[in-house]
């Protein structure tokens, strides 16, 4: 992670048009002129006229002009004052020690750039990340929430290894869309605030087969309450920088774990326990919507248990526990069915990183805490899947009912998202009579299984044990807000399928960003049926060409 001491003029372009749900300003590029603003509908445009009549934004000078970034209070000082800064000022790739941050400036694009879209708000590798992120600073909004702003793809840093510090358009579009999609699915995540593309050439071998080609460069402005990862602690422990590790963990606890007493001798134990719980819950939520991260290493696991760094991710179309979204993952280490196991592996690495801060008794207790991870995960997973099936309360046979359904889905290659969604739309009477129309195409696929009728009997029998319940109440419960499980919704109708992202990327490569903006608009309301989304086929069977799509780590 790299901190920029001051915002250069060109970095204002990255924040142009940013409208964050919880901030107080609309920001502009100041006097910089190398920018073509692309009109964006639905409060996505950076055009000031679009906001001229907005009465509900709480901005003091809204009429006919934007608020300059110069008037926005953005600072890295708290982070800089809290930790030693890299004393070497030159920006060259090296092994950096005895500090948390290096001060370097982002590298501007040299060609014309476009603001594409904005949003409302297992082996130690010896290196943390790929060194292409610049931390601009932190901002506290009017609600008192602190956000750290970071550029991804903004040039080389001392941590860049052999990379060029850039990101390409295709991966940046995917990160921009998916981080916003997960947020509106109710899953903890970093946020993508804006996306900028240039005509600068970035050379990439997308599938590592020797076929290098020039691609468009892009930068994502993304925000999070913290960008510290398991790897941020692990790298300090690995290099023996114990006091700096202690300082960092104390800083994280004080800033982000208010329920932990930062002066307690058990604070690191309490910190680890909370991260174990929160990580288990995060992965259970991924699984409940069929999301596979793609690269679940310790550098991509947040200490705040939020979804971090979107590379070769993927949402399952048909249910397959062996689904691997990353074609670079030859060993299927990060297949969707292994995410919970990899989560435990990463937590064990975090436990090892904390060892030097713990006494022998506390070290033994961290082992016991980690042993509780499988139960935490399974309990949360079943809670989510019971909600997906509209079940009330807990029954001893619920695990069997859910596992049986998933096995039927695996055997029939039934669509994961639409099977659950259509079960929330079809009536119990239709299920009992096996009267399944083409409208419920995913359930039709499931019904081909010879055991389908048996499962339906089990399911209807379980629903009948929901006392004082109605079929209409069940259907509503399966689709909409479920406060009990702290989940924005239960069964989405729309997810960011690979074919949808790919279609938007292909258009973007031709300087047509309309589908990026359209997808962002649709994915803000994934649980609501939308005519435009239906017309676009977003809840239909995936097209045949979708099965040929490949995504790699090259970005």
Structure confidence by residue, pLDDT tens digits, 162-192: 678 888 998 999 999 999 999 999 999 999 9
Where does residue 307 fall: left (phi above 0), alpha (psi -120 to 50 degrees), or beta otherwise?
beta
Instruction: Please compute the mean of the pLDDT values over residues 347-354 and round it to a whole number.
Output: 98
Q: What is the pLDDT of residue 553?
A: 61
Joined tokens for residue 2 = 């790299």
340 contacts 376 by C-beta, under 8 angstroms: no
With a cut of 90, say whether residue 122 has pLDDT above it: no
Structure confidence by residue, pLDDT tens digits, 418-437: 999 999 999 999 999 999 99
| Catalytic residue numbers, as ranges | 299
Residue 84: name the closest of 183, 178, 3 by CA. Answer: 3
Helices 360-371 and 373-388 sit at what angle, rounded to 10 degrees? 30
Q: What is the pLDDT of residue 49?
A: 29
Q: Band of the pLDDT at 506, cuts 50, 70, 90? A: very high
With a cut of 90, say whether residue 353 has pLDDT above it: yes
Q: Band of the pLDDT at 112, cuts 50, 70, 90? A: confident
**Of 415 and 67, more confident:** 415
Q: What is the pLDDT of residue 128?
A: 56
Structure confidence by residue, pLDDT tens digits, 205-215: 666 667 778 88
Instruction: Please compute the mean of the pLDDT values over residues 307-330 and round it to a whole number.
Output: 92
Alpha-carbon gap, residue 404 to 378, rounded angstroms: 16
**Of 554 and 457, more confident:** 457
Instruction: Please compute the mean of the pLDDT values over residues 50-66 and round it to a whole number.
Output: 31
Alpha-carbon gap, residue 357 to 375, rounded angstroms: 27
Q: What is the pLDDT of residue 40?
A: 31
Instruction: Find all residues with CB under 8 Å of 507, minimum gap 6, and list them.
Output: 513, 514, 515, 516
Phi first, then psi: give them for residue 116, nearest 5 degrees.
-80, -50
3-class SS string, 420-445:
HHHHCCCCHHHHHCCCCCHHHHHHHH
Structure confidence by residue, pLDDT tens digits, 16-49: 333 233 222 222 222 222 323 333 333 333 232 2
Q: What is the pLDDT of residue 2?
A: 39
3-class SS string, 358-402:
CCHHHHHHHHHHHHCHHHHHHHHHHHHHHHHCCCCCCCCCHHHHH
Q: What is the pLDDT of residue 481?
A: 52
């Amino acid at each position: 992670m790299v901190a920029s001491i001051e915002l250069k003029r060109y970095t204002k372009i990255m924040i142009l048009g940013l409208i964050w749900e919880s901030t107080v300003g609309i920001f502009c590029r100041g006097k910089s002129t190398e920018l073509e603003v692309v009109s964006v509908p639905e409060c996505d445009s950076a055009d000031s006229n679009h906001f001229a009549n907005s009465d509900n934004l709480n901005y003091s000078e809204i009429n006919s002009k934007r608020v300059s970034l110069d008037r926005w209070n953005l600072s890295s000082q708290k982070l800089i004052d809290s930790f030693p800064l890299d004393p070497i000022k030159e920006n060259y790739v090296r092994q950096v020690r005895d500090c948390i941050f290096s001060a370097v400036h982002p590298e501007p694009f040299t060609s014309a750039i476009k603001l594409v879209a904005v949003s409302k708000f297992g082996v130690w590798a010896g290196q943390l990340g790929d060194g292409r992120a610049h931390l601009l600073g932190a901002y506290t909004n009017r609600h008192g929430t602190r956000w750290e702003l970071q550029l991804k793809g903004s040039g080389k840093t001392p941590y860049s290894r052999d990379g060029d510090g850039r990101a390409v358009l295709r991966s940046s579009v995917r990160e921009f869309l998916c981080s916003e999609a997960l947020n509106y699915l109710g899953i903890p995540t970093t946020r993508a605030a804006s996306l900028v593309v240039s005509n600068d050439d970035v050379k990439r071998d997308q599938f590592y087969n020797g076929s290098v080609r020039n691609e468009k460069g892009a930068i994502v402005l993304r925000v999070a309450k913290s960008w510290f990862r398991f790897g941020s602690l692990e790298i300090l422990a690995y290099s023996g920088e114990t006091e700096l590790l202690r300082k960092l963990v104390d800083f994280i606890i004080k800033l982000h774990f208010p329920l932990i007493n930062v002066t307690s001798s058990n604070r690191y134990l309490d910190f680890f326990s909370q991260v174990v719980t929160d990580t288990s819950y995060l992965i259970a939520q991924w699984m409940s919507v069929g999301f596979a991260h793609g690269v679940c290493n310790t550098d991509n696991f947040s200490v705040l248990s939020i979804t971090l760094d979107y590379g070769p991710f993927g949402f399952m179309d048909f249910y397959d526990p062996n689904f691997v979204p990353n074609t670079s993952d030859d060993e299927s280490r990060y297949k969707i069915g292994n995410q919970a196991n990899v989560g435990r592996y990463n937590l064990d690495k975090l436990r090892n990183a904390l060892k030097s801060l713990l006494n022998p008794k506390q070290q033994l207790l961290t082992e016991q805490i980690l042993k509780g991870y499988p139960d935490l995960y399974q309990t949360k997973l079943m809670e989510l899947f019971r909600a997906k099936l509209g079940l009330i309360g807990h029954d001893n046979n619920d695990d069997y009912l859910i596992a049986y359904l998933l096995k039927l889905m695996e055997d029939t290659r039934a669509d994961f998202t639409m099977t659950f969604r259509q079960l929330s739309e079809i009536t119990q009477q239709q299920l009992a009579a096996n009267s399944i129309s083409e409208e419920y195409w995913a359930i039709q696929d499931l019904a081909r299984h010879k055991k389908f009728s048996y499962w339906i009997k089990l399911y209807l029998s379980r629903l009948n044990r929901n006392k004082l319940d109605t079929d209409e109440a069940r259907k509503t419960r399966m689709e909409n807000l479920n406060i009990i499980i702290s989940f924005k919704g239960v069964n989405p109708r729309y997810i960011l399928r690979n074919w949808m992202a790919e279609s938007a990327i292909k258009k973007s490569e031709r300087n047509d960003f309309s589908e990026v903006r359209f997808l962002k608009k649709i994915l803000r309301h994934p649980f609501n049926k939308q005519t435009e989304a239906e017309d676009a086929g977003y809840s239909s069977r995936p097209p045949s060409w979708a099965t040929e799509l490949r995504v790699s780590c090259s970005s």
